[in-house]
Structure 1
Amino acid sequence: MEWFRPRDWWDRLFAVGVIIKGLDGLVELAGGVMLLLLDPAKIHRFVIRMTQPELSEDPRDFIATHLLHAAGTLTGSAVIYAAVYLLAHGAVKVVLVAAVLMNRLWAYLWMIAVLLAFIAYQLYQLAVSPTAGLVALTVFDAAVVFLTWHEYGRQRQRQRA
């Protein structure tokens, strides 16, 4: 097994994007596990404690108010949905990133397909309720798709040589 080794700036850019996706997957896995293990009321109290200092300075702080709102809407079925969503999302990302970094050629195409599916869902969400964060995530995912496609072509050429 040969690990992915960046050879030039294209490779390094690709590696950074893929590693960020992998870290995002790990955070999603952790979030999904936390949602399954922690009581929604405890999560809400924790978010209140974490956002209180910021909200005392700026009661309209964008991130703090959205976190507080999200934590307040956690109910039984919403928690299960969010946990399953985060666990599935995170597991797929972590597995694909690991396979790509292990130079598994099949994983490049799966990474592209999965990210395109995520992008399609994100575009739907943008049509329903646009946010700057979702726009940024969608643009980042599109960049990773492009870099993955580019790197896939380079890896195929290297394997032929």
Structure 2
Amino acid sequence: MASRRHGDYWQHVLDLVFLIGVTFKAIDGLGEILIGIPLLFITPAGVTNAVHHLTARELAEDPHDLIANLLVHGVNHLAGSDLRLLGIYFLVHGIVKAAIVIAIIIGAIRVYPWAIGALTALTIFQIVELALHPTISVALLTVLDIIIIALTWREWREHRSLRDTARETWRWLRPAPARS
């Protein structure tokens, strides 16, 4: 493990951002798996009915609600094959992210280059998707992925496991004991 000066504020901030980013990637991966599985089996009519049911009350209160209108508009253009492809995309994307996070959590530093490569491939796919169908959510996700790639490379270069980073960050965040 590379040594660090304890007073280096920005190093600790980057460590904290890395830990938060890995946590978000874990949540994101799990969410994509949980979304992807049902999309493999649901019909477009089922999705349309569910979205109309979920947004009916909100649209009754505010017919101009942006999110509800985007959801309703989006599901009205779905086809069965689109749902299955979307389900496969979410499932693969989520499984890759979950596997990367699990490997990083168990301290497999040798997995970091694979994680960087897989996240880079997924990010390139997102950039293509962003060029074809620009959305704020994909743009934000892409920026987050680029930050996580850079911070994972940093951790790998310093030969630090997630546990090492978490331990050092926890010591930094914990208030110093009061002196008597």
TM bin, normalised by shorter chain, reads 0.7 to 0.9
CA distance in 1: counterparts of 2:142 and 2:62, whole angstroms: 29
CA distance in 2: counterparts of 1:32 and 1:40, whole angstroms: 14
Q: 1:91 aligns with which of 81, 90, 95?
A: 95
Structure 1's unaligned 5+ residue stretches are 1-7
Q: 2:147 aligns with which of 143, 146, 150?
A: 143
Cα deviation, residue 47, structure 1: 0.8
What TM-score results when the alignment is normalised by the length of structure 2?
0.75
Q: Deviations over 1:124-146 (max 9, x none)?
A: 22222222222111111111111
Mapping of residues 58-97 of structure 1, within 5 Å = 58-97=62-101
RMSD: 2.2
Instruction: Kindly report structure 1 stretches of 4+ aligned residues shifted beyond 6 Å.
Output: none
Question: Which of 1 and 2 has greater Rg?
Answer: 2
CA distance in 1: counterparts of 2:47 and 2:76, whole angstroms: 9
What TM-score results when the alignment is normalised by the length of structure 1?
0.83
2:20 is the counterpart of 1:25: no
CA distance in 2: counterparts of 1:108 and 1:67, whole angstroms: 37
Secondary structure of the corresponding residue to residue 155 of structure 1: coil
- Higher percent of residues as helix: 1
| Contact kept in structure 1, 2:39 and 2:87, CA below 8 Å | yes
Q: Deviations over 1:26-85 (max 9, x none)?
A: 111111111123333222111111122232343333322222233223322112111111
Aligned positions, number: 152
| Contact kept in structure 1, 2:30 and 2:98, CA below 8 Å | yes
Between 17-26 and 104-113, report the one with greater CA deviation. Answer: 104-113
Between 36-45 and 24-33, report the one with greater CA deviation. Answer: 36-45
CA distance in 1: counterparts of 2:15 and 2:27, whole angstroms: 18
